[in-house]
Amino acid sequence: MRLVEREEQLTRLDRLLADCLAGRGRVALVSGALGSGKTALLQAFADRATSTGATFVSVAGSWAERGLRFGVLSQILHDTAVSAHGLLSARALCLRMLELAERTPLVIGVDDVHLADQPSLNCLLSLIRRVRSARVMVVCTESAQPPEVRSPFRLELLRLPLCTSVVLEPLTLHGVASLAGDRDAARIHALSRGNPLLVRALAEDDLPAAVSRCLHHGGPVVRHTAQAIALLGGFASPTAISRLTRVDPRAVTHALRVLSSAGLVDECRFRHPGTRDTVLACTTLSQRAILHARAARMLHEQGETADIVACHLLEGAPGRAEWVVPVLRAAAARAGRRTAFASRCLELARKSSGDSSERAEVTLDLAQLEFRSNPLVAARHLPTLREAMQAGHLKGEAVVSQLLWHGQDVDDLLQDNDSNVERWLASAHPALARWRPSDSPLTSLLHGDDTAASRAEAVLRGSRLTGDLPWVAVFALLTLIYADRLESAAAWCDRLLEQAGEHVTWQAVFSGVRAEVALRQGDLRACSRLAGTALGLLSAPAWGIAVVLPLSCLILACTRSGQHGEASEYAAQPVPEMAFQTRFGLHYLHARGEHHLATERPDAALTDFTRCGELMRSWGQDHPGVVPWRVCSAQALLGLGSPERARRLLVDQLTLTTRRSRTHGLSLRVLASLQEPGVRAQMLAESAEILEERGDRFGLAHALAELATSLGRNPRGRMIARRAWHIARECDAGPLRDSLLPDELPVPDLVALTAAERRVAALAADGHTNREIARKLFVTTSTVEQHLTRVYRKLDIRYRRDLPAGFRRRPHR
């Protein structure tokens, strides 16, 4: 092995060897840190000694044979072929060695002399005292010792005039560059503190072997100290290490100096991040478990945070100390996105608990945690949770909600005095609710409270996505949807989706709700994308009875966009029967009914719409914002040739709705088909105005299309038809768009417009303001206004919104 920056030490040894060959005995004590190259230096010197004709005897002390009497001495006798038979004293042994040296110079190298057994050291001292005028040289190597460590052998040796101390210093930056290469010299020097063993290891990417070697040669206390640093990390200190390893503080201080001088540690921190893994790998699993358990207790007693303590509890054997379970539960609660860590904490807490009620609560915590990622995994806890609830160890909606999610019966768990459960049931499973709570925004809305939407927004502002599925947020979103606050509902959905993070179930549910918002806004593409995402995040079995939420959106979006084959496939997917006793079941029946209606099965459609109405009335929640079942039933009745029955339903619906609600606008559109032409146009115009105001683009396109038909082929009718076509195209409502056939519709006489008027009209139709148009065309705002006035007169329209979208792309005729 090539030596770097060790020329001075070799030169000193060569001088001592020359004295030895001249008949003057010499002793060298080579000191250096772990890995500083003591053994390599001794081997290099051995080659030089043997080249002079001297006999070199190499022996070494070790931790394994430190307690073996005369272990090192026996190595010397073996290598010199001296028999110990008949030698009754150390003096006799020394005389025999001196006799050998008279024939051939003798060099004895004792590596790691600090690990030699005491009887051997005594004999070695006896020999050294007698070599002053003999051709004998003794070279001992030792790990650098702090001043307070006073080895009797070392002190005795250094007092002798024939003994020379040789110290191996760490490599300089230049030495590191010579050994490892110039490119990474600075980094390697900083990480290794110039330790040759570590320098080579870092240069050759073999740090584990070097670290293992250092720990092996450092001995038990050094090894245990390194293990404690690896386990405690940033909490390592001399006192903490001493408590953890149960080693005397003075011994720990010495071990830290050994590790520091070796370049492994700097103030109880490993210099290289890879050192920790190697140290832990050198520790048996049983040793690690013991140390982690001790570390957990120690850090808990020091008042460290639950997650820090829990990390050690998970790796150790915590037992059933009363503080263990609360710490693990607290760590799980503050785990954030570290779901796997939280799950492990709760699993261990459940195993460590000796109290039935506490164990039930921990099991519920675990079920709630797992539910966020996969409800099917959480379902394995349901039998235990049911038993715990029956035994009185648990109560509330958390268990009931999971059981119902999977379609299980909960009649035996419902208590008349549990207001939380009743409030949840009234919002999600109204068929099971026994009374009507008044403090929920959703149930308040369904019973006519006009302030419910504002209360729902207040709930959302204060909501936090913790614990079980955040039903409160879901119900608040539904309140906004049913109240026609679609823009607000969309914004809150997007915010909650962002907060959901890695919680798959939350992402799926909020994506499904967001799809419902997009559906009511008429954005069929977004609805299909969001509902498809929701359905893809969880398998159908994992969705449980809530699978009807994304399915209903997909069925309706596909139906309205003309993809009837896809809609049929979604409608054919099996749905749990209990789903029809939930609020989302109403959405599904409505979607399936509309699909039946679009595929010319009005009788099947009427059955689904009628069932919606029966359920809503039986629950006492017949709110038109949930599902417009009367409007839909009227459409089915018109298809079945029962206009009078349809009229009665529509009149009832108008009576039950506020004048500016989305359902009111839908009712006007359908009822208009039963009116005289003059009244029909008026009702359709009002319907279109309401639906535009409520943000329902699909409903608006339908109302405009029917209004255009009622107006005939006059300019206004043609302009409205074109607007309906563009809106239908934007919605991706294929059947409605194709029914309008814009290229075959009469178009305004654009020839009457001047080139300047066409340019202004085109920009206005694309949504630009007068000021923006003036800036683009380099004219005054007044000029733009004059052009638009003439355009309106020539095209026989009254408002900017009547300008056809895509005006600029129409060919001139």
DSSP lists the bridge partners of residue 59 as: 110
Percentage of residues in the chain with pLDDT exceeding 70?
A: 94
Tokens (6 digits) for 705: 């299309």
User: Of all helices (H) and strands (E), which one includes residue 518?
Assistant: helix 504-521
pLDDT in the model for residue 466 = 65
The HSE-up count of residue 384 (CA atoms within 13 Å, CB side) is 17
Distance of CA 801 to the CA centre of its chain: 47
Structural domain contains residue 310: yes
pLDDT in the model for residue 752 = 72
582-599 per-position pLDDT tens digit: 999 999 999 999 999 999
CA-wise closest residue to 424 among 439, 413, 412: 439
pLDDT in the model for residue 89 = 62
How many structural domains are present in the chain? 4
CA-wise closest residue to 650 among 636, 670, 665: 670
CA-wise closest residue to 675 among 634, 699, 718, 643: 643
Q: Which of 157-161, 434-438, 673-677, 785-789 has the lowest mean pLDDT?
A: 434-438
Please state, as a whole number, how many other Cβ atoms lie within 10 Å of the Cβ of residue 89. 10
pLDDT in the model for residue 749 = 56
Distance of CA 319 to the CA centre of its chain: 30
Please state, as a whole number, how many other Cβ atoms lie within 10 Å of the Cβ of residue 409. 10
Mean pLDDT across 742-754 = 58
**Torsion sign, CA atoms 213, 216, 222, 223:** positive
Of 144, 169, 194, which closes a domain?
169
What single-letter amino acid sits at 572?
A
Which string of DSSP letters, residue by residue, matches 157-205? HHHSTTEEEEEEPPPPHHHHHHHH-STTHHHHHHHHTT-HHHHHHHHTT
Place of tokens 């107006």: 711
What single-letter amino acid sits at 353?
S
Mean pLDDT across 500-525 = 94
Structural domain contains residue 792: yes
End-to-end CA distance of the chain: 93
Considering 449-463, 523-537, 796-810, the range whose residues carry the highest mean pLDDT is 523-537
Measured CA distances, 304 to 299, 301, 307, 804 (Å): 6, 8, 9, 68
Percentage of residues in the chain with pLDDT exceeding 90?
A: 65
Q: What mean pLDDT is reported for the chain?
A: 89
Mean pLDDT across 635-649 = 95
Mean pLDDT across 87-101 = 76
The answer on pLDDT for 683 being more than 90 is yes
The pTM for the full model equals: 0.74
Range of the domain at 146: 7-169
Please give the Cα distance from 553 to 551 (Å, whole number). 5
Residue 30: strand, helix, or coil: strand
Strands 26-32 and 106-111: unpaired
pLDDT in the model for residue 83 = 56
163 and 187 housed in the same domain: no
Structural domain contains residue 676: no
550-560 per-position pLDDT tens digit: 999 999 999 99
User: Which residues lie below 8 Å from residue 358, measured CB to CB, with a gap of 6+?
Assistant: 325
Angle at 702 between CA 701 and CA 704, to 5 degrees: 65
CA-wise closest residue to 304 among 359, 240, 226, 350: 240
The answer on pLDDT for 57 being more than 90 is yes
108 and 21 housed in the same domain: yes
Residue 572: strand, helix, or coil: helix
User: Which residues lie below 8 Å from residue 686, measured CB to CB, with a gap of 6+?
Assistant: 665, 668
324-333 and 306-313 helices cross at what angle (nearest 10)?
120
User: Which residues lie below 8 Å from residue 337, measured CB to CB, with a gap of 6+?
Assistant: 501, 502
pLDDT in the model for residue 417 = 60
Please state, as a whole number, how many other Cβ atoms lie within 10 Å of the Cβ of residue 565. 8
pLDDT in the model for residue 152 = 87
The answer on pLDDT for 808 being more than 50 is no
339-381 per-position pLDDT tens digit: 899 999 999 999 999 899 999 999 999 999 999 999 999 999 9
Number of H helices, E strands in the chain: 44, 5
CATH number of residue 801's parent domain: 1.10.10.10
pLDDT in the model for residue 635 = 96
Angle at 423 between CA 421 and CA 429, to 5 degrees: 80
Structural domain contains residue 413: no
Backbone angles phi, psi at 2, to 5 degrees: -70, 130
CA-wise closest residue to 621 among 434, 448, 397: 448
162 and 309 housed in the same domain: no
159 and 185 housed in the same domain: no
262 and 116 housed in the same domain: no
Characterize 210-238 residue by residue with b for buried, 16 or more Cβ atoms within 10 angstroms of its Cβ, and e for exposed. bbeebbebbbebbbbbbbbbbbbeebbbb
Contact 207, 272 (CB under 8 A): yes
Structural domain contains residue 330: yes
Angle at 657 between CA 654 and CA 662, to 5 degrees: 95
Backbone angles phi, psi at 712, to 5 degrees: 85, -155
Please give the Cα distance from 687 to 112 (Å, whole number). 98
Residue 784: strand, helix, or coil: helix
207 and 355 housed in the same domain: yes
How are strands ordered across the β-sheet holding 106-111? 55-60, 106-111, 136-143, 26-32, 163-168
Contact 611, 576 (CB under 8 A): no
pLDDT in the model for residue 548 = 97
Structure letter (DSSP) for residue 812: P
* 643-651: long-range pairs with CB below 8 Å, 24+: 643/674, 646/670, 646/674, 647/671, 647/674, 650/674
pLDDT in the model for residue 810 = 43
Tokens (6 digits) for 228: 């404690």
Characterize 458-488 residue by residue with b for buried, 16 or more Cβ atoms within 10 angstroms of its Cβ, and e for exposed. ebbeebeeeebbbbbbbbbbbbbbbbbbbeb
770-777 and 755-765 helices cross at what angle (nearest 10)?
130
DSSP lists the bridge partners of residue 165 as: 29
208 and 349 housed in the same domain: yes
Radius of gyration of the chain (CA): 44
Please give the Cα distance from 745 to 584 (Å, whole number). 41
Residue 27: strand, helix, or coil: strand
pLDDT in the model for residue 700 = 95
CA-wise closest residue to 427 among 467, 462, 473: 473
Structural domain contains residue 428: no
* Confidence band, pLDDT 50/70/90 cuts, at residue 744: very low
452 and 339 housed in the same domain: no
The answer on pLDDT for 654 being more than 70 is yes
81 and 206 housed in the same domain: no
Mean pLDDT across 743-749 = 50
Structural domain contains residue 412: no
Tokens (6 digits) for 306: 């639950």
Of 526, 551, 570, which closes a domain?
570
Please give the Cα distance from 332 to 343 (Å, whole number). 7
Place of tokens 């080139």: 755
Mean pLDDT across 301-308 = 94
Q: Who wins on pLDDT, 624 or 744?
A: 624
697-711 and 677-694 helices cross at what angle (nearest 10)?
160
Q: Who wins on pLDDT, 202 or 89?
A: 202
* Confidence band, pLDDT 50/70/90 cuts, at residue 658: confident
Write down the H helix ranges in 581-661: 583-598, 602-618, 629-639, 643-656
Residue 56: strand, helix, or coil: strand
CATH number of residue 100's parent domain: 3.40.50.300
The answer on pLDDT for 806 being more than 90 is no
pLDDT in the model for residue 809 = 43
273 and 333 housed in the same domain: yes
The answer on pLDDT for 88 being more than 80 is no
Contact 705, 736 (CB under 8 A): yes
Structural domain contains residue 253: yes
Tokens (6 digits) for 466: 């913790």
DSSP lists the bridge partners of residue 30 as: 141, 166
Of 137, 169, 201, which closes a domain?
169
Contact 588, 551 (CB under 8 A): yes
306 and 442 housed in the same domain: no
Strands 106-111 and 55-60: parallel
86 and 146 housed in the same domain: yes
